[in-house]
Chain A
Amino acid sequence: MNRRDAIKNATLLLGGVLSASAISGVMAGCKAEPKGSGWAPKFFTAEEGSTLEAIVDRIIPKTDTPGAKDAGVHNFIDQLMAEFYQDKDKAAFRDGLKAIEAEAKSAHGKSFAALKPEEQDAVLTKFDAEAYAEGRKPEDPPHFFKTMKELTVLGFCTSEVGATEFLKYDPVPGAYHGCIPYSEVGAAWATS
Chain B
Amino acid sequence: MSNINGKWQQDSTYDAIVIGSGISGGIAAKELSEKGLKTLVLERGRMVKHIEDYPTMNMAPWDLPNRGRVSQAEIDKHYQKQNRTGYTVNEGHKHWFVKDDEHPYTEVKRFDWMRGYHVGGRSIVWGRQSYRFSDLDFEANAKEGIGVDWPIRYADIAPWYDYIEEFIGVSGSNEGLPQLPDGKFQPAMEMNCLETDLKAKVESKFKDRKITMGRTAHITQATEAQKKLGRGNCQFRNLCMRGCPFGGYYSSNAGGLKAAELTGNMTLRPNSIVHSIIYDEKTGKAKGVKILDAETKQEMEFYSKIVFVCASAFNSTWILMNSVSSRFPNGMGNESDQLGRNVMDHHFKAGASGKSDDFGDRYYSGRRANGIYIPRFRNVDAKTKRSDFLRGYGYQGGGSRTGWQSLVAELGFGKAMKEEMHEPGQWRMGLTGFGEMLPYEDNRITLNKDVLDMYGMPTLTMDVEIKENELAMRKDMVASAVEMLEAAGLKDVKGNDDVYGPGLGIHEMGTARMGKDPKTSVLNKWNQVHGAPNVFVTDGACMTSAACVNPSLTYMALTARAADFAVKELNKGNI
Asked if A83 contacts B52 (CB within 8 A), the reply is no
Cα distance A63–B359 when bound, in Å?
28
Asked if B51 contacts A29 (CB within 8 A), the reply is no
Asked if B365 contacts A185 (CB within 8 A), the reply is yes
Asked if B408 contacts A146 (CB within 8 A), the reply is yes
Asked if A174 contacts B408 (CB within 8 A), the reply is no
Cα distance A192–B196 when bound, in Å?
19
Within 8 A of A (CB), among B6-65: 51-63, 65
- Give A187 Cβ to nearest chain B Cβ, in Å: 5
- What 1/0 flags go to B188-226 for Cβ under 8 Å of A? 011111011000000000000000000000000000000
The answer to whether the Cβ of A107 comes within 8 Å of any Cβ in the partner chain is no
Residue in B189, B235, B422 whose CB lies within 8 Å of A173: B235
Asked if B59 contacts A173 (CB within 8 A), the reply is no
- What 1/0 flags go to A10-35 for Cβ under 8 Å of B? 11011111110110011011001100
- Sort chain B's interface into a size bin: 35 or more
Asked if B368 contacts A180 (CB within 8 A), the reply is no
Question: Which residue from chain B places its CB closest to the CB of A179 in the assembled complex?
Answer: B193
Cα distance A124–B425 when bound, in Å?
25
Name the segment of B161-169, B294-302, B411-419 touching the other chain: B411-419
Which applies to chain B's interface (DSSP): helix, strand, loop or mixed?
loop
Asked if A63 contacts B362 (CB within 8 A), the reply is no
Residue in B73, B190, B193, B410 whose CB lies within 8 Å of A86: B73
Residue in B60, B65, B195, B411 whose CB lies within 8 Å of A163: B60
- What 1/0 flags go to B409-451 for Cβ under 8 Å of A? 0111111011001111100000000000000000000000000
- Give B133 Cβ to nearest chain A Cβ, in Å: 28
Asked if A32 contacts B66 (CB within 8 A), the reply is no
Query: Inter-chain contact count A-B, CB under 8 Å?
Result: 204
- What 1/0 flags go to B383-419 for Cβ under 8 Å of A? 0000000000000000011011001101111110110
Residue in B61, B66, B196, B412 whose CB lies within 8 Å of A80: B66
The answer to whether the Cβ of B366 comes within 8 Å of any Cβ in the partner chain is yes
Name the segment of A45-53, A92-100, A108-116, A148-156 touching the other chain: A148-156
Cα distance A86–B232 when bound, in Å?
43
Contact (A14, B245) CB under 8 Å given A176-B189, A178-B190, A188-B424: yes
Question: Which one of B60, B63, B66, B404 has the highest number of Cβ atoms from chain A below 10 Å of its Cβ?
Answer: B60
Residues of A within 8 A of B65 (CB): 32, 79, 83
We find that the number of chain A residues with CB closer than 8 angstroms to chain B is: 74
Residue in A19, A84, A182 whose CB lies within 8 Å of B71: A84
Residue in B52, B67, B365, B411 whose CB lies within 8 Å of A154: B67
Residue in A3, A19, A175, A185 whose CB lies within 8 Å of B52: A19
The answer to whether the Cβ of B328 comes within 8 Å of any Cβ in the partner chain is no
Contact (A191, B367) CB under 8 Å given A14-B232, A22-B52, A175-B236: yes
- Give B219 Cβ to nearest chain A Cβ, in Å: 13
- What 1/0 flags go to B509-547 for Cβ under 8 Å of A? 000000000000000000000000000000000000000
Asked if A26 contacts B366 (CB within 8 A), the reply is no
Within 8 A of B (CB), among A35-92: 58-61, 63, 65, 67, 76, 79-80, 83-86
Cα distance A33–B364 when bound, in Å?
29
Asked if B367 contacts A176 (CB within 8 A), the reply is yes
Cα distance A157–B403 when bound, in Å?
10
The answer to whether the Cβ of B381 comes within 8 Å of any Cβ in the partner chain is no
Asked if B417 contacts A59 (CB within 8 A), the reply is yes
- Give B416 Cβ to nearest chain A Cβ, in Å: 10
Contact (A153, B190) CB under 8 Å given A61-B414, A158-B62, A173-B365: no
Cα distance A86–B71 when bound, in Å?
8
Asked if B403 contacts A26 (CB within 8 A), the reply is no
Residues of B within 8 A of A192 (CB): 238, 367, 400, 403
Contact (A191, B361) CB under 8 Å given A21-B55, A175-B236, A176-B190: no
Residues of B within 8 A of A166 (CB): 421-422
Asked if A16 contacts B51 (CB within 8 A), the reply is yes
Question: Which residue from chain B places its CB closest to the CB of A60 in the assembled complex?
Answer: B418
Asked if A33 contacts B62 (CB within 8 A), the reply is yes
Asked if A7 contacts B58 (CB within 8 A), the reply is yes
Instruction: Enumerate chain B interface residues (CB-CB to A < 8 A).
Output: 51-63, 65-69, 71-73, 189-193, 195-196, 230, 232, 235-238, 245-247, 359-368, 400-401, 403-404, 407-408, 410-415, 417-418, 421-425
Further pairs besides A172-B237, A188-B422: 17, Cβ < 8 Å: A10-B58, A13-B232, A21-B55, A32-B65, A33-B62, A83-B71, A84-B69, A86-B71, A146-B408, A150-B408, A158-B62, A158-B68, A163-B61, A176-B364, A176-B365, A180-B363, A185-B365
Q: List 23 A-B contacts (CB under 8 A).
A: A16-B230, A29-B60, A76-B67, A83-B66, A83-B71, A84-B69, A128-B413, A129-B411, A157-B421, A158-B61, A159-B61, A167-B422, A176-B189, A178-B364, A180-B363, A182-B360, A183-B361, A184-B363, A188-B423, A189-B367, A191-B238, A192-B367, A192-B403
